[in-house]
Structure 1
Amino acid sequence: MLRFLPLKLGRVYRCLKLLFIVGLFVVLLMNTHTLLASFQKNELTDRRFIHLNKCPACFGTSWCRKFMNGQVSFESWGRLRFLDVFNVKNVFFAQYGEPREGTRRIVLKRLGSNQELADIDQKICKRATGRPRCDLIQAMYKTEFARLNGDVRLLTPDVVEGWSDLVHCPSQRLLDRIVRRYAETKDSGSFLLKNLKDTERMQLLMTLAFNPEPLVLQSFPSDEGWPFAKYLGACGRVVAVNYVGEELWSFYEAPWEKRVDLAKQLLDIAEQLTNNDFDFALYLLDVSFDNFAVGPRDGKVIVVDAENVLVADKRLIKQNKPENYDVWYESRFEECDKEACLSFSKDALCSRVTVDHNYYAICQNLLSRYATWRGSTGGLLHDPPPSVGKDGHLDTLLEECVKPKTRYGRFAAAKELRQYLTELSGTAR
């Protein structure tokens, strides 16, 4: 009797799936006129839809002219608002058109779910009035976001420390970089906070507090070789970034040679973000298959979700010399029954010069047998060909990268794994 249970469950699933499709078809028929109107309407020119009416409690206005001129529009099904119930992250694909360049695909982000955005409004109101609802624009001028208005010269660590992962342990050098590269102002290029308009200061600080992803992309731009999506601009609470390609997960069953190349690139990203000429260590605190994408032409791996990036200034650490600052820090592996979980200490990331966190995060959550995502296990390097798997060297390196048996074993394993994957890539060619 028990072996018939999967069959019955399968039939129930197929029936439910059929009912859903039929129901959706009925809804489409009943709302044909509304649907046609939706396809014809460009809601990205509506100030209320993009929350431009909430500025300066927003992420910026640099792209508003492009939005209002109709140069930006949702792609096909993205125009249908009833489908938003399936788009919890509020990430949309859109077309952006320039007269001389034609159109190209971009990605629009609201940088949070509808509930998270509503929570931002409530937090601003409570900070200003003590009540969950208020006149949002008036409230902004009564919060800490407005206290730096006037003739304040610099954005200093004591003001914003701990507001978000980006500034969990900020240095003056990092904050000067953030202000100097802030793209939501016409007078960018200066680290002096007083050169920004009052509304621009408040937008910058609100972004820094609630979702600093745009500031990460601006401060460490792709044009300089950083492995992040290119920031284009914002209007209200909608941010535009360059479309990179399909998410990394879509390559889970790609040919072995392709997966080896992607794995090598992921470790290269870990190395670049950890050790670079700028002496900023960028630690990825949220590593999963949907936070990376692969370019369709060059096959390049790019980080497409940079909300949870902690930046530590190695120069400041060397200068202040906190306890054990020069002792290599090893991230501790912990068993987890959830997808894409990591264990780390933010304070340790902020106080050590040499840290293996990025290698640990990439190996555990993307490459090794411990990687779990959407019900699948085995990681990007699953099922190697017999010629690779028979000697067990790859498995040994991955295991040491995740659960090192020797002191500083992860550092050595990550370095050797990068070299080994390079050799495999060369052999595949």
Structure 2
Amino acid sequence: MNTKYVLLTVLSITINVIIYYKLCPSVLQLCEVDTCPICFGTDLCNEIGQNKIVLQYNTFSAFMYNIFSVKNVYFARFYNMTVVLKKLAHNNEFQKLKELKRKDFNELINFLVSDSGDKHFVLCDKNTANSFLRIFSYKSSENLETLLHINIEPLLLEIFSSQHGWCVPKLYGYCGRLVVVQNAGQPLSEIESFNWFDRSYVAYQILQSVNNFTKNHDIFRIYLTDISPDNIAVNQDLQITFIDLENAILKKKVAGGEIHYTEHFDEDLYMYSEKQICESSMSDHNIYSTCRLLLSKKAPWPMMKNGLLHNPPDI
């Protein structure tokens, strides 16, 4: 066999292997477990080490996300389930965490209610923060503090668990820097052309769900502050799931007090008051925001044009 041909073949195979491992890392590589204990948890590391979770490339979106690490989100299969792997922090964020001094319980409460100006998630007061933290007393301080600093959403998926009927993705667990959650379907915007009766069924579920977020938890009320078609998924059976809880306000339930009704501004302007929501015993924020941003014919850009309930049939 021609030596030049052999060398070219070997070189080609080597390059392909390098490209594969660079562009198509294993799930275990994505976990970067060497960063532990500065990580989210380890309860899924055995399954990942045994290749029970495998990246999928069977759709265009999965291929693009998995190859180019779009938003640090990856699509995979876990046994017979489709799942989403979320890598919730960048290297520089983890480096900053390593340099932080560990906080005691009271310091964590003060951190959670501090006004840093860039928080996506708000706990209204120390009473709320205290009750929130005590739920996670079983977690290691390293795992808990990392989630509190990087992304609080997985903790909310434990409080508002899908196993208890909440319309949120099922949380399967953690390994290193990965969180594994249910793949709940396509974005709400993808059903824009569905018939009106299917869309009205989806709208009913959304309204019912946000009302439950306001009223049905035993301890808390959660108010979503980034309600948009991109943050709600719809599966093949038209069942909805809220896939972003990171942007929210959490308030502990209190007896009595005033109910807050959102002030309606000009049609092109959507605003809400975090202060008024937190100071009230209950707010209409979830219902108002859903109607204003998703259902209204005058929903502002970049929401769905003419709202989810556009073009109703003549009856």
Per the normalisation by structure 1, the TM-score is 0.61
CA distance in structure 1 between the aligned counterparts of 2:244 and 2:175, rounded to whole angstroms? 19
Return 5+ residue gaps in structure 2 as ranges. Answer: 1-11
CA contact (8 A) 1:155 1:176 kept: no
Aligned pair in 2 of structure 1 residues 263, 378: CA closer, same or farther (>3 Å)? same
Rounded Cα–Cα distance in structure 2 between residues aligned with 1:32 and 1:279: 56
What is aligned with 2:221?
281
Query: Contact 1:39–1:79 at 8 Å: present in 2 too?
Result: no
3-state SS in 2 of match to 1:261: helix
Q: Which residue of 1 aligns with 2:36?
A: 55
Residue 279 of structure 1, CA deviation:
4.9
**Partners of 1:31 and 1:386 in 2: how far apart?**
64
Paired position in structure 2 for 1:93: 75
SS of match in other structure, 2:82? strand
The AA in structure 2 aligned to 1:232 is Y
The one-character-per-residue Cα deviations of 1:248-278 (angstroms, maximum 9, x if unpaired) are 1111110111001011111111211112252
1:354 aligned residue: 282
Change (3 A) 1:222 1:260: same
Q: How many residues align?
A: 298
Q: Deviations over 1:90-133 (max 9, x none)?
A: 22210112xxxxx2211111235xxxx24423543xxxxxxxxx
Q: What do residues 371-391 of structure 1 show as CA deviations (whole Å, max 9, x unaligned)?
A: 35668511111111122xxxx
CA change 1:179–1:70 in 2 (3 A) is farther
Partners of 1:79 and 1:249 in 2: CA distance:
21
What amino acid sits opposite 1:294 in the alignment? V
Distance 2:194 2:68 in 1: 30
Pair 1:147 & 2:103 matched: yes
Q: Does residue 104 of structure 1 match 2:85? A: no
Cα shift at 1:173: 6.1
In the TM superposition, residue 331 of structure 1 has moved relative to its aligned partner by: 4.0
> Could you tell me which residue of structure 2 aligns to residue 427 of structure 1?
none
Change (3 A) 1:379 1:111: farther
Taking only the aligned residue pairs, the percentage that are identical comes to: 27
d(CA) in 2 for partners of 1:378, 1:67: 44
* SS in structure 2 at match of 1:377: coil
Per-residue deviation at 1:52?
A: 2.0
SS of the equivalent of 2:184 reads: coil
Q: What CA distance in whole angstroms lies between the structure 1 residues aligned with 2:81 and 2:66?
A: 25
| 2-structure distance, mates of 1:244, 1:54 | 29
- Bigger RCO (CA 8 Å, 6+ sep): 2
Q: Which among 362, 365, 368 is matched to residue 293 of structure 2? A: 365
Larger helix fraction of residues: 1
Q: Any residues of structure 2 matched to 1:106-185 within 5 Å, and which?
A: 106-111=83-88, 117-121=90-94, 123-124=96-97, 136=98, 139=99, 143-144=100-101, 146-148=102-104, 157-162=109-114, 164-170=119-125, 172=127, 175-180=130-135, 182=136
Residues 163-184 of structure 1 deviation map (CA, whole Å, 9 limit, x = unaligned): 755452245466445543x4xx
CA distance in 1, matches of 2:84, 2:314: 40
1:379 — aligned with what? 307
Larger Rg: 1
| Deviation, structure 1 residue 348 | 1.5
Say what the alpha-carbon RMSD is for the aligned residues.
3.3
Q: Which residue of 1 aligns with 2:173?
A: 233
Tell me the secondary structure at the aligned position of residue 371 of structure 1.
Answer: coil
TM-score relative to the length of structure 2: 0.81
Distance 1:177 1:93 in 2: 30
Question: What secondary structure is seen at the aligned counterpart in 2 of 1:330?
Answer: coil
Which of 8, 33, 52 pairs up with 2:16?
33
How far off is 1:72 after superposition?
0.9
Structure 1, residues 143-192: CA drift from partner, whole Å, max 9, x if none? 24x232xxx6x887335323755452245466445543x4xxxxxxxx4x
2:78 counterpart SS class:
strand
